[in-house]
Structure 1
């Protein structure tokens, strides 16, 4: 009996699936395909791959085929897998807005350096959302086809109108007996007005708290002053009270990085460790609305932020290595894009963009916006991105001309500077920020601060992923239901 040689069963030709690449050094390239899979090739292997001469029995080809970079006529399973992965990555397009932000009031007791809205005094009740507006907003929210809804309460200080917040939660729970959606409630608060009845209500309805903690006491009170000069102690007391009733996992902290923060990466991180947090969001300034007037005082360049962030992340990783678990949220979101097949839940890292398609904002005055940033533009006298009022139907809001304009510039794959970027599958176009900063929704990637920060973040993370010890820490930052995918070997 004649037996064919093994090479007779090997494919001799292959087809490329879409990918982009970036040169890491003079002889190594990072390849990332449309579904976010990545691998490293040396320059010769990359040239052979593109020329169609890469040996199909080589380790490099086997790696590329397993990660959906190439397929052959003998193995179209790879092509089918690629299509399924792409559909999963873009699954948010079929869901509709899942994040619904209710701006309950503009009243606030703080005078934050970087505030994006013109905050109003605690007694200015005319800047509260009327109950009828709140009811109509809830009705609009349930018209979204999304199966899971996150209801986020913002201000001002939303706890100054706790009765309204309570009304919206209870109405949502009541209506959900018919709609059967998964509801998640989040309140963004300084915690200065929190009390036991509020916390008991939050416990009953599984409400999560997002609060600001900008660092050591002097920095927090410098960035977030109040009339009594005790915003830090009130925040700390609020955190302790909330944890006592809700538990540690229901309270998340974020720090907004100002110019005063840049020299203090270790001190800021240490404050979060001292307060017992296990995640920290090192959030760069977003210069929208009223905050633009303070930019010369609190702002900085993308390079300055990246330098700060690198030092802070170095220290966070060091603390993890010493046994204290602390995640950084920017990195966690990016790592989820790199290391898992899940669609991004973060609207700034989507293409098409998540403005309107992923989030709707119901302002206290009844106007509906496609993002919190577009609401901030009203502070600069520009209301052009309003989609309509809460009395409009969901269909009217989603087909409004401003949203069409946003989406025309919201597909990163079609934008100059984005279309050929290796990190495109992990990123988004951010048209509203471009409009606010540069006067048009496309922007210029070479000078775009958002682009510079995002690109630096991904370049930095890929370098760190080469270190097995660092990689093991990063896997602990992923959602707990994610398995650990095969780990890329960088240097063969």
Structure 2
């Protein structure tokens, strides 16, 4: 009997083991000692569990590797996928003044508008991607301030496209919709994503118009119009220090407005959030306490008969249960370059959304080229793209390779660089790491408790 490579941690009175297949197993401390000392009884229950979870094996090393290499390949299938997400930053202008805006540091005016020439070249590069299924996502600023270019990109894409299946998404604050826009998005089957930070008092404090007026009422009005037109609207929440006071109200607001999911997102230390951190920031421990409160309220809402899931948790549940989820931030390597590209309003091309946000702060480190000088091949072969890939391989990072959550997690070289001028996080237990560790701790604590009512909710969230 041979012991496979594994990582472990103590959780309550059990030892949790994981391996590169993404399998996890809880064993007692005495069983764990027997595993380490090779004292597992043949044909025992614990031996069967260990074999089933590929923690141990009977075959030769070569036979074991040959038999199960396709399991690893399935988990890493994103490595063989070309860039599928193409982000078009059609303008940096915005009609709002959010306290944490990641696309602007609040220190300069940056009202750029993508031109038709830039848009055309960006689409040409995006269509060179060899993967069949593409997503074109429009961002800002507020992209509806440059709606003509959004229309141009869609129409030019549909004229130029020969072999791709393309989905269109737009990330918008919902305050500028017209009937023309609604009809256009309906015709082209757009997915719409917005931000909603919770109850009206909280949302208006975080996300106000430039004149200080609240935006909640307008967002809800547009939400209802879009749904009436048959359009799907998803929403994310960004947590500020003020948000920590309203976990239950946040969950209930989303449920009341008819959302079936909520994405509870911590602050990212980019853009205006860095300037306002003393006012709106918090510790990872404070965020995890908030996250747990939101989660328990969401579970209660589900037990009351309504369906609403937390997206971060749902993504992780799918990964834990062996389902492939192509979520860019929780990949190893991450999705920068090989999973997504961002085409900025001035024509520069960036590794990812975060890379272009850093550019807004005056740092072009993650620029891969310009639409007038580049093609898809030389963008992907750019040394920056290679560096980002190499520095986000958790299996090779000293701070991540031996973590029990390595099979389910991911790192962000851009955020690491923004915080420490190094694409590899210098602190092995930094802000982002502590947050994801806390989220995963909560999830696996529920698996350990194995309470049927919570497991039933988790099973529904995986669908």
Instruction: Give the TM-score category using the shorter length.
Output: over 0.9
Q: What is the CA–CA distance in structure 2 between the aligned matches of 1:119 and 1:208, rounded to whole Å? A: 28
Whether the aligned pair in 2 keeps the contact of 1:68 and 1:82 (CA below 8 Å) is no
Q: 1:61 aligns with which of 40, 44, 47?
A: 47
Could you say which residue in structure 2 is the equivalent of 1:195? 178
- Give the 3-state SS of the residue equivalent to 2:135 in structure 1: strand
Deviations 1:221-267 (A, max 9, x none): 111111371411110110000000024xx110111111111110011
Whether the aligned pair in 1 keeps the contact of 2:105 and 2:275 (CA below 8 Å) is no
Offset of residue 45 of structure 1? 2.0
Closer/same/farther in 2, CA of residues 20 and 52 from structure 1, 3 Å limit? same
Structure 2 residue ranges without an equivalent (≥5): none
1:165-244 superposed matches below 5 A: 165-176=150-161, 178-179=162-163, 181-226=164-209, 227=211, 229-244=213-228
Could you say which residue in structure 2 is the equivalent of 1:100? 86
Offset of residue 75 of structure 1? 11
Q: What is the CA–CA distance in structure 1 between the aligned matches of 2:298 and 2:62, rounded to whole Å? A: 43
Q: What is the CA–CA distance in structure 1 between the aligned matches of 2:71 and 2:101, rounded to whole Å? A: 40
Deviations 1:412-435 (A, max 9, x none): 111112011000010112211111
Deviations 1:155-212 (A, max 9, x none): 0111111121111112222333x12x22111111111111222112111111011011
Q: 2:2 aligns with which of 4, 9, 15?
A: 15
Whether the aligned pair in 2 keeps the contact of 1:445 and 1:451 (CA below 8 Å) is no
Offset of residue 76 of structure 1? 8.6
Q: What is the CA–CA distance in structure 1 between the aligned matches of 2:62 and 2:323, rounded to whole Å? A: 20
Does residue 30 (structure 1) correspond to residue 30 (structure 2)? The answer is no
TM-score (normalised: structure 2)? 0.94
Whether the aligned pair in 2 keeps the contact of 1:55 and 1:61 (CA below 8 Å) is yes
Q: 1:138 aligns with which of 118, 123, 134?
A: 123
Could you say which residue in structure 2 is the equivalent of 1:430? 412
Does residue 462 (structure 1) correspond to residue 448 (structure 2)? The answer is no
Structure 1 residue ranges without an equivalent (≥5): 1-13, 481-492
Deviations 1:30-74 (A, max 9, x none): 111101111111122222223333123011111121222222139
Q: What is the CA–CA distance in structure 2 between the aligned matches of 1:169 and 1:80, rounded to whole Å? A: 45
Whether the aligned pair in 2 keeps the contact of 1:352 and 1:411 (CA below 8 Å) is yes
Cα RMSD over matched residues?
2.0
Deviations 1:265-285 (A, max 9, x none): 011111111211110111111
Q: 2:38 aligns with which of 43, 52, 68?
A: 52
Q: 2:395 aligns with which of 396, 405, 413?
A: 413
Whether the aligned pair in 1 keeps the contact of 2:92 and 2:111 (CA below 8 Å) is no
| Count of aligned pairs | 457
Moved more, 101-110 or 370-379: 370-379
Whether the aligned pair in 1 keeps the contact of 2:105 and 2:360 (CA below 8 Å) is no
Whether the aligned pair in 2 keeps the contact of 1:111 and 1:119 (CA below 8 Å) is no
Q: What is the CA–CA distance in structure 2 between the aligned matches of 1:193 and 1:42, rounded to whole Å? A: 57
Could you say which residue in structure 2 is the equivalent of 1:366? 347
Q: What is the CA–CA distance in structure 1 between the aligned matches of 2:337 and 2:180, rounded to whole Å? A: 34
Could you say which residue in structure 2 is the equivalent of 1:158? 143
Higher relative contact order (CA 8 A, sep 6+): 2
Q: What is the CA–CA distance in structure 1 between the aligned matches of 2:192 and 2:237, rounded to whole Å? A: 14
Whether the aligned pair in 2 keeps the contact of 1:65 and 1:78 (CA below 8 Å) is no
Offset of residue 374 of structure 1? 1.4
Whether the aligned pair in 2 keeps the contact of 1:29 and 1:42 (CA below 8 Å) is yes
Does residue 325 (structure 1) correspond to residue 307 (structure 2)? The answer is yes
Q: What is the CA–CA distance in structure 1 between the aligned matches of 2:331 and 2:314, rounded to whole Å? A: 15
Closer/same/farther in 2, CA of residues 379 and 162 from structure 1, 3 Å limit? closer
Whether the aligned pair in 2 keeps the contact of 1:68 and 1:81 (CA below 8 Å) is no
Could you say which residue in structure 2 is the equivalent of 1:8? none
Moved more, 194-203 or 221-230: 221-230
Q: What is the CA–CA distance in structure 2 between the aligned matches of 1:470 and 1:136, rounded to whole Å? A: 50
Could you say which residue in structure 2 is the equivalent of 1:337? 319
Whether the aligned pair in 1 keeps the contact of 2:123 and 2:157 (CA below 8 Å) is yes
Q: What is the CA–CA distance in structure 1 between the aligned matches of 2:452 and 2:183, rounded to whole Å? A: 44
Q: What is the CA–CA distance in structure 2 between the aligned matches of 1:126 and 1:293, rounded to whole Å? A: 19
Q: What is the CA–CA distance in structure 2 between the aligned matches of 1:348 and 1:46, rounded to whole Å? A: 32
Q: What is the CA–CA distance in structure 1 between the aligned matches of 2:451 and 2:171, rounded to whole Å? A: 36
Q: What is the CA–CA distance in structure 2 between the aligned matches of 1:368 and 1:135, rounded to whole Å? A: 14
Q: What is the CA–CA distance in structure 2 between the aligned matches of 1:464 and 1:119, rounded to whole Å? A: 39
Q: What is the CA–CA distance in structure 2 between the aligned matches of 1:476 and 1:163, rounded to whole Å? A: 40
